[in-house]
Structure 1
């Protein structure tokens, strides 16, 4: 049975790790390099690093910070934020990332997914998708970009299917409605996308207890769960969460 992955997300703003609720009221919570090292030592399966202001400010990834994080961790490391060209993808991978997450830039230029997959391989190209409930969309969910601030015309399910056809090898699916609320993941959204595509889907937004992770990994059919607040500020450790999941019958790497 394939093991489920636990992934810690570091949202970075102005070189510091930050945390908000529904993409707002972000507060500084520490140094991303030190935090990455700590979570790696706790046994996290992967790390995701998002520069949350890069696209909105129209700049590329902070390569120096990416390489300093990469020096501390020896697990898959995914970087997102401001990656808008093949050159950005190349420089991010050369700085030490195994994968790049394309979100706003992929919506603006879908060719970036197919070009990136062709040059670097599907496994390197992750679709980052921020979705919120919207009854006017066919699937009931709409895609937003620029850190959840800008509404698009894209339906979440249709965009996921299209991005995978273009070459995305994985999807990080973030529920804007659940983000930072710690009330549990958006099970319906996650399950719908997981059943619609043939690549791994990582659930993001809303994790507050190990039970929430177990629910989205089992009922939501997610291949992995992204966490942030739980380990940043709620007293959980990666090892403790994995031990709890193991007891609940979720196969994880111990």
Structure 2
């Protein structure tokens, strides 16, 4: 039986974990390996870890850190940041990571998806789309931490990456990043209409109801979460957490209901 996954998303900046707001400011929240250890104990579905420095600095993925994360993690890991080639992706998979996330490399040349899927398996290839609404209300894709606009339209990119093959698409709302104002359902609607690929939505979750509402509305979908799982209270004290038992049970009920209705 398929069910939605709920994945913490951790951002690596200068080898430490940070949380951003609308891709600006960087609040330090701890050590990556320590965070992985805590999420192990909380029996997390999956974890997404993105190095937000690598592509901007044109640097190679931090293989030493990736190996340490893979060795420590007891949950599936999706890792992204600075990955541009098939060889880099294969090396990351060989280190023990389950999925490799790409952004600018795919947006510049979507044809690389075919050799990537052949090399590491379609289920291990993830494309991350950082999306922001412009003053006309249209959604645009950005790379390099929201500083470089992609000329192609969102709908065109979704068609392209689906035609070449992809295991999963992570859609990250720049406008909702770190704001804890709820997921952007208008954005999710567009993505759902334009692709049949598995999708995960990131940006805006403020409470467990936001996660449940996303899953109830779109059935089998990935819900990724940043601030909600690393902050507590109005002053945003750092406290790593995960779903409570009540929410976990609700997600299981939704999955069972969806399974019976299919």
Q: TM-score by structure 1 length?
A: 0.91
- Asked if residue 243 in structure 1 is aligned to residue 240 in structure 2, the reply is no
Taking the aligned partners of 1:180 and 1:57, their CA distance within structure 2 comes to: 23
Count of residue pairs the alignment pairs up = 249
Task: Indicate which of 199, 202, 216 corresponds to 2:200.
Answer: 202
Judge conservation of contact 1:191–1:221 (CA < 8 Å) in 2.
no
Judge conservation of contact 2:19–2:26 (CA < 8 Å) in 1.
yes
Task: Indicate which of 116, 135, 141 corresponds to 1:143.
Answer: 141
Taking the aligned partners of 1:102 and 1:76, their CA distance within structure 2 comes to: 17
Partner-residue secondary structure (3-state), 2:11: strand
Aligned residues: CA RMSD: 1.9
Give, in angstroms, the shift of residue 192 of structure 1.
2.0
Taking the aligned partners of 2:212 and 2:180, their CA distance within structure 1 comes to: 14
Give, in angstroms, the shift of residue 161 of structure 1.
2.0
Give, in angstroms, the shift of residue 167 of structure 1.
1.4
Taking the aligned partners of 2:243 and 2:139, their CA distance within structure 1 comes to: 34
- Which residue does 2:229 correspond to in 1? 231
Q: TM-score by structure 2 length?
A: 0.89
Taking the aligned partners of 1:236 and 1:96, their CA distance within structure 2 comes to: 24
With 67-76 and 27-36 compared, the bigger mean Cα shift is at 67-76
With 5-14 and 189-198 compared, the bigger mean Cα shift is at 189-198
Moved over 2 A (4+): 134-137, 218-222, 234-237, 242-252
Gaps of 5+ in 2: 233-238, 257-262
Judge conservation of contact 2:4–2:219 (CA < 8 Å) in 1.
no
Give, in angstroms, the shift of residue 109 of structure 1.
2.3
Judge conservation of contact 1:56–1:146 (CA < 8 Å) in 2.
yes
Gaps of 5+ in 1: none
